[in-house]
A and B are shown apart, each in its own frame.
Chain A
Amino acid sequence: MPHIDNDVKLDFKDVLLRPKRSTLKSRSEVDLTRSFSFRNSKQTYSGVPIIAANMDTVGTFEMAKVLCKFSLFTAVHKHYSLVQWQEFAGQNPDCLEHLAASSGTGSSDFEQLEQILEAIPQVKYICLDVANGYSEHFVEFVKDVRKRFPQHTIMAGNVVTGEMVEELILSGADIIKVGIGPGSVCTTRKKTGVGYPQLSAVMECADAAHGLKGHIISDGGCSCPGDVAKAFGAGADFVMLGGMLAGHSESGGELIERDGKKYKLFYGMSSEMAMKKYAGGVAEYRASEGKTVEVPFKGDVEHTIRDILGGIRSTCTYVGAAKLKELSRRTTFIRVTQQVNPIFSEAC
């Protein structure tokens, strides 16, 4: 007999942050930098904990160059060659502390990751990313990577529930990626019926991770700076963005022009587009679990970054948090049925 969990789980769109009394005089007083010490690698981190997703459209070296100027982080996608990494490392030594090298669980991915980390020892972060972080196979893989790289900080995912966050942390991961199906170009929920509303997933997983002195990344589902603030408010240590950083000069792919409007392609990493590009097509036994969209070209990502950081600073002043660190402690979410007055706008 299937089980129904009768608690309604919530998405970002189901809540707003309640304002609270504040002694802050200006948004400029808000400190968005966070410092962490990781459970298993024992490394420390300091920066604004927003991460460009390891998708080949946004997790690019061009993106990393701009993001590192703002102390933001980039999970560089796994499709760059060793030579490309070496070239980037030679020209941008200052950015390397704000980068992760990515890998799936395949042996060719892992061999390349080893080569990159050996060639560029300044890269201290590893992003182990699979669609389904619940497989025993993945747990074993995390253990192997931890053994091989005892002093690298390991991000691993994706999962959405506390027990699996705990398992991955105890298997050697430092930071757990949380999110199944919330992304704007992810179709996992339509193709499989599996998923978990992102706000509830972040709250539950943050609680599990923090109990073990681990950390989490809220990965996916943010469609505006307010959602990023809600993810931090819900307890996320890091927030990973794909769609919000898509469509910029620094994003991968060519600029397309149609009817005088400029676009860039953005697609999920399990979409037909990505599977054709890197795996020679969609295997017979699987369905594509991502889509491809044309997003309007938004120019340089610098403007978008300022917009996001300005939004979060404003959130912090509304709830009386002088530092990003205090945001989740000051957070009270209220449940709502609509986010904004829709008269002159689109969704968010």
Chain B
Amino acid sequence: MPRIDADLKLDFKDVLLRPKRSSLKSRAEVDLERTFTFRNSKQTYSGIPIIVANMDTVGTFEMAAVMSQHSMFTAIHKHYSLDDWKLFATNHPECLQNVAVSSGSGQNDLEKMTSILEAVPQVKFICLDVANGYSEHFVEFVKLVRAKFPEHTIMAGNVVTGEMVEELILSGADIIKVGVGPGSVCTTRTKTGVGYPQLSAVIECADSAHGLKGHIISDGGCTCPGDVAKAFGAGADFVMLGGMFSGHTECAGEVFERNGRKLKLFYGMSSDTAMNKHAGGVAEYRASEGKTVEVPYKGDVENTILDILGGLRSTCTYVGAAKLKELSRRATFIRVTQQHNTVFS
């Protein structure tokens, strides 16, 4: 007999943050840096905990070079070669503390990642990313990587529920990626019917992770700086962004023009486009679980970064949080039926 969980689960669009009294005088006073010590690697981190997603369009070296200037993080996509990595490490040594090497659970991925981490030892973060973090195979893989790299900080996912967050942390992961299907180019929910509203997923997973001194990344579903603020308010230690960083100069792919408008391609990493590019096509037994969109070209990512960070600072002043760390403690979400006035949109 199927069971229905009658509690309504919420997305970012279902809530707003309630303002609270504040002794801050200006947005400029807000400190967005956070410092973490990770449970299993014992490493420490300090920076603005926003991560560019490990997608081949946005998780690029060019992006990492700009992000690093703002103390932001980039999960570099897994399709760069060892030589690409060596070149980047030589040209941008200052960036290496703010990047992660990515891998799926395949043997080839693991071998390449191992060779990169050996060649570039300054990289201390690993991003283990599979579509379905619930498989026993993935749990075993996380244990294997932990045994092989005892002092690297491991991000692993994706999952959306507390018990699986706990399992992955106890298997050796430090930071759990949370999100199944919320992304703008993700079609998992339409193709499979599986998913979990992102705000509720973050609240529940953060609670589980923090109980074990682990950390989480809210991965996907942010469409505007306000959503990033809500993810942090919900308890995310890190927020990972794909679509919001797409369409910039630093993204992979060419700018093209149609009807006088400049565009760039953006696509999910399980889309036809990505599978054709990296796996020689969509395997017979699977459906593509991502789509390809043309996004308007937005220029340099610098402007978008300032817009996001400015928005977050404003959120913190509205709820009286002098530091990003205090945001979730100061967060009261109210349920709403619309986000904003749509008269002119």
Size of the chain A interface, CB-CB below 8 angstroms: 60
Which residues of chain B are within 8 angstroms of A221 by Cβ–Cβ distance?
Answer: 341
CB-CB under 8 A for A3 and B311, given A181-B340, A184-B344, A192-B225: no
The answer on a CB contact under 8 Å between A8 and B335 is: yes
Looking across the interface, which residue of chain B has its beta carbon closest to that of A295?
Answer: B344
The answer on a CB contact under 8 Å between A5 and B233 is: no
Chain A window 205-222, contacts with chain B (Cβ cutoff 8 Å), 1 for yes, 0 for no: 000000000000000110
The answer on a CB contact under 8 Å between A134 and B20 is: yes
Cβ of A276 < 8 Å from any Cβ of B? no
Cβ of B4 < 8 Å from any Cβ of A? no
Chain B window 219-233, contacts with chain A (Cβ cutoff 8 Å), 1 for yes, 0 for no: 000001111111001
CB-CB under 8 A for A2 and B328, given A194-B17, A194-B226, A285-B28: yes
The answer on a CB contact under 8 Å between A183 and B22 is: no
CB-CB under 8 A for A286 and B310, given A159-B19, A193-B233: yes
Looking across the interface, which residue of chain B has its beta carbon closest to that of A188?
Answer: B314
Cβ of A197 < 8 Å from any Cβ of B? yes
The answer on a CB contact under 8 Å between A287 and B341 is: no
Cβ of B207 < 8 Å from any Cβ of A? yes
Which one of A4, A167, A347 lies within 8 Å of B335 (CB-CB)?
A4
Chain A window 186-209, contacts with chain B (Cβ cutoff 8 Å), 1 for yes, 0 for no: 111111111111000000000000
Identify the stretch in A9-17, A40-48, A121-129 within 8 Å (CB) of chain B at 4 or more residues: A9-17
Cβ of A151 < 8 Å from any Cβ of B? no
The answer on a CB contact under 8 Å between A161 and B19 is: yes
Size class of the B contact interface (CB-based, 8 Å): 35 or more
Looking across the interface, which residue of chain B has its beta carbon closest to that of A133?
Answer: B19
CB distance from A51 to the nearest CB of B (A): 18
Which residues of chain B are within 8 angstroms of A13 by Cβ–Cβ distance?
Answer: 337-338
Cβ of B263 < 8 Å from any Cβ of A? no
> For residues 266 through 311 of chain A, which have their beta carbon under 8 Å from a beta carbon of chain B?
282-289, 291, 293, 295
Which one of B12, B224, B308, B319 lies within 8 Å of A194 (CB-CB)?
B319
CA distance in complex: A188, B228 (Å): 13
The answer on a CB contact under 8 Å between A3 and B331 is: yes
Looking across the interface, which residue of chain A has its beta carbon closest to that of B337?
Answer: A14
The answer on a CB contact under 8 Å between A4 and B333 is: yes
| Residue from the set A220, A286, A289, A347 with the largest chain B CB neighbour count within 10 Å | A286
The answer on a CB contact under 8 Å between A291 and B335 is: no
Looking across the interface, which residue of chain A has its beta carbon closest to that of B19?
Answer: A134
Which residues of chain A are within 8 angstroms of B21 by Cβ–Cβ distance?
Answer: 134-136, 163-164, 167
> For residues 7 through 45 of chain B, which have their beta carbon under 8 Å from a beta carbon of chain A?
10, 12, 15-25, 27-28
Chain B window 316-332, contacts with chain A (Cβ cutoff 8 Å), 1 for yes, 0 for no: 01111000000011011
CA distance in complex: A223, B345 (Å): 13
Cβ of A1 < 8 Å from any Cβ of B? yes
CB distance from A138 to the nearest CB of B (A): 9
Cβ of B306 < 8 Å from any Cβ of A? yes
Cβ of A6 < 8 Å from any Cβ of B? yes
The answer on a CB contact under 8 Å between A189 and B22 is: no
> For residues 178 through 224 of chain B, which have their beta carbon under 8 Å from a beta carbon of chain A?
203, 207, 224
CA distance in complex: A3, B327 (Å): 12
Looking across the interface, which residue of chain B has its beta carbon closest to that of A183?
Answer: B341
Cβ of A320 < 8 Å from any Cβ of B? no
Looking across the interface, which residue of chain A has its beta carbon closest to that of B316?
Answer: A192
The answer on a CB contact under 8 Å between B224 and A190 is: yes
Looking across the interface, which residue of chain B has its beta carbon closest to that of A137?
Answer: B25
Known: A190-B225, A195-B340, A196-B16. 17 other contacts (CB 8 A): A2-B328, A5-B335, A8-B335, A131-B314, A132-B22, A135-B21, A137-B24, A180-B318, A182-B340, A184-B344, A187-B340, A192-B229, A193-B227, A196-B334, A284-B310, A287-B311, A289-B311
In the complex, 11 of the A-B residue pairs with CB atoms within 8 angstroms, ordered by the A residue number, are A8-B335, A11-B336, A132-B314, A132-B317, A189-B226, A220-B341, A283-B28, A287-B306, A288-B310, A289-B311, A347-B343
User: Which of B's residues lie within 8 Å of A, judged by CB?
Assistant: 10, 12, 15-25, 27-28, 203, 207, 224-230, 233-235, 306-315, 317-320, 328-329, 331-344
Nearest 8 CB-CB pairings of A with B:
A287-B310, A193-B226, A2-B331, A191-B311, A193-B229, A192-B315, A184-B343, A195-B16
